[in-house]
Amino acid sequence: MGITAAFMVPHPPLIVPDIGRGEEQKIKRTIDAYRKIAERIGQLQPETIVLTTPHQVMYADYFHISPGKGAKGDFGQFGAGHVKMEVRYDEAFVEHLCELADAHDLNAGTLGERDKRLDHGTMVPLYFVNQFWKEYKLVRIGLSGLPLTKHYELGQCIKETTEELGRNVVLIASGDLSHHLKEEGPYGYRKEGPEYDARIMEVMGRGEFGELLEFSEDFCEKAGECGHRSFTIMAGALDAAEVVAERMSYEGPFGVGYGVCGYAVCGRNQERNYKDQYEKKERERVLAGQKKEDAYVQLARRTIEAYVRTGEMIPVPEGLPEEMYRKRAGVFVSIKEEGRLRGCIGTIQAAQPSLVQEIIENAVSACSRDPRFPAIGREELDKLSISVDVLGDTEKISSAEELDVKRYGVVVTRGYKRGLLLPNLDGVDTVEEQIAIAKRKAGIGENDGVKLERFEVVRHY
């Protein structure tokens, strides 16, 4: 057998009549699409339903798969505690999936259970499914802060598990779209909201899952989506499979996007190996960028590669531009992988005798000592994009009006706490955002007053 069908669905609790109390009729197209999906699942009679949900426990670097024999849940937090459900877990499937993930060096497993109760991202889809088919076992999987490619890889492990166990499986990818569609909505409006929804529905409606990997993290965050990683796991589970895609409905009357798409599996198609294609393009892009790197970035890359491979810091090399030996300045080394920040460490003012040594020290710190990320591994080296920012002198300013998010970086100071944010960063469009992020980095309260300084940089790619 294998995965016979997959579905992208939202999870608004008010779609359940006991919660919506009439309001659910405002998303009638979503309800009608849900019923069609549930009917199809009833016809397919899957032994196992694999469901990915954003409202399961989520870790930065680990996929949590629900352990045990089963779980219960109800809609009590939405005022309908009498609407309950209970599921049995497919323990053999979970065990095999965890073994495969481990074999593929993917951080996934049953550790870290915090709340055994079913979440609404799980219960809303099953509320409809249970009306047509109950003789299934469930595999419930949470998302993570890992790159989209890792979510795709988890999907590939799901596919492999399904085939090796010979299960008849349906996959449900639970996730709402943007939460920023309307000013009067619960989360307000951002232009990225409707942009995301239009783009994701176009991609998912065509079933061109490779394009999911091309959505930038900044764009997804500004759009306020919650289902993108869930959909990407589904894409991995359908890797190299021929599917018939159907866009079933889209609505957003409450300021949150609800999209429904279905995918019937009808064979194999090796040209739909989207992760392989994406990684090939990324390697080509990084290699093309490396050929254009100047001496500053070449030095940072050489330092990072040597340190990751040997654990040793390189000596000061010869043959670099003279200014790098005689000039002193603060330097930030930034590392990205697949468009996501992977490490960034720097100094506001010079701490070393020369720019060369400043770059070497901060490159080592960026690849191995950034507390937000694990140390970079050897397998990542050919995926890294690197930039080096050389900071100019800081100057005190009296107000935020003297800042320009594209031209100036900002330093915020309150007592002994000091935070910095570089200029012209992806996803930072306003001075207010720039100051707010710098405050968070320094551990300064959102409403606390700060002293401001600005500086310019020379950015090397």
Look at residues 366, 433, 359 and name the one whose alpha carbon lies nearest to residue 400.
433
AA letter at 188: G
The rounded distance, in Å, linking the Cα atoms of 61 and 41 is 32
Instruction: Please state the φ and ψ torsions of residue 83, each to the nearest 5 degrees.
Output: -90, 105
Element (H, E) at 421: strand 417-421
Residue 238 burial by Cβ neighbours in a 10 Å radius (0-12, 13-18, 19+): buried
Local confidence band at 425 (pLDDT 50, 70, 90 cut-offs): confident
The residues, any chain, with a CB within 8 Å of residue 396's CB and separated by 6 or more, are 451, 452, 453
Q: What is the pLDDT of residues 138-171, one digit of tens each?
A: 999 999 999 999 999 999 999 999 999 999 999 9
Gap between the terminal Cα atoms of the chain: 50
**Residues 355, 347 contacting (CB under 8 angstroms):** no
The rounded distance, in Å, linking the Cα atoms of 248 and 252 is 14
User: Alpha-carbon torsion 26, 32, 35, 41, what sign?
Assistant: negative
The rounded distance, in Å, linking the Cα atoms of 381 and 117 is 41
The rounded distance, in Å, linking the Cα atoms of 237 and 235 is 5
* Alpha carbon separation from 452 to 69, 240, 283, 408 (Å, rounded): 56, 53, 40, 12
Q: What is the pLDDT of residues 202-260, one digit of tens each?
A: 999 999 999 999 999 889 999 999 999 999 999 999 999 999 999 999 999 999 999 99
Local confidence band at 427 (pLDDT 50, 70, 90 cut-offs): confident
Percent of the chain with pLDDT over 70: 100
The rounded distance, in Å, linking the Cα atoms of 346 and 351 is 10
DSSP class per residue in 108-171: EES------SPPHHHHHHHHHHTTT----EEEEEE-BSS-HHHHHHHHHHHHHHHHHHT-EEEE
The rounded distance, in Å, linking the Cα atoms of 220 and 95 is 32
pLDDT at 340: 87
pLDDT at 172: 98
DSSP state of 104: T
| Other CB atoms within 10 Å distance of the CB of residue 415 | 10
Percent of the chain with pLDDT over 90: 94
The rounded distance, in Å, linking the Cα atoms of 433 and 453 is 16
152-181 burial, b if ≥16 CB within 10 A, otherwise e? bbbbbbbbbbbeebebebbbbbbbbbbbbb
**pLDDT > 90? residue 339:** no
At 388 the three-state DSSP class reads strand
**pLDDT > 90? residue 426:** no
For residue 75, what are its two tokens?
Answer: 């809609």
At 20 the three-state DSSP class reads helix
For residue 328, what are its two tokens?
Answer: 């002193």
At 359 the three-state DSSP class reads helix
Q: What is the pLDDT of residues 57-70, one digit of tens each?
A: 999 999 999 999 99
The rounded distance, in Å, linking the Cα atoms of 37 and 132 is 10
Q: Which residue has the tokens 């989360």?
A: 187
Q: Which residue has the tokens 């055994």?
A: 116
Q: What is the pLDDT of residues 25-46, one digit of tens each?
A: 999 999 999 999 999 999 999 9
DSSP state of 72: E
| Other CB atoms within 10 Å distance of the CB of residue 126 | 22
Look at residues 72, 65, 54 and name the one whose alpha carbon lies nearest to residue 116.
72
Q: Which residue has the tokens 């951080």?
A: 107
Q: What is the pLDDT of residues 118-146, one digit of tens each?
A: 999 999 999 999 999 999 999 999 999 99
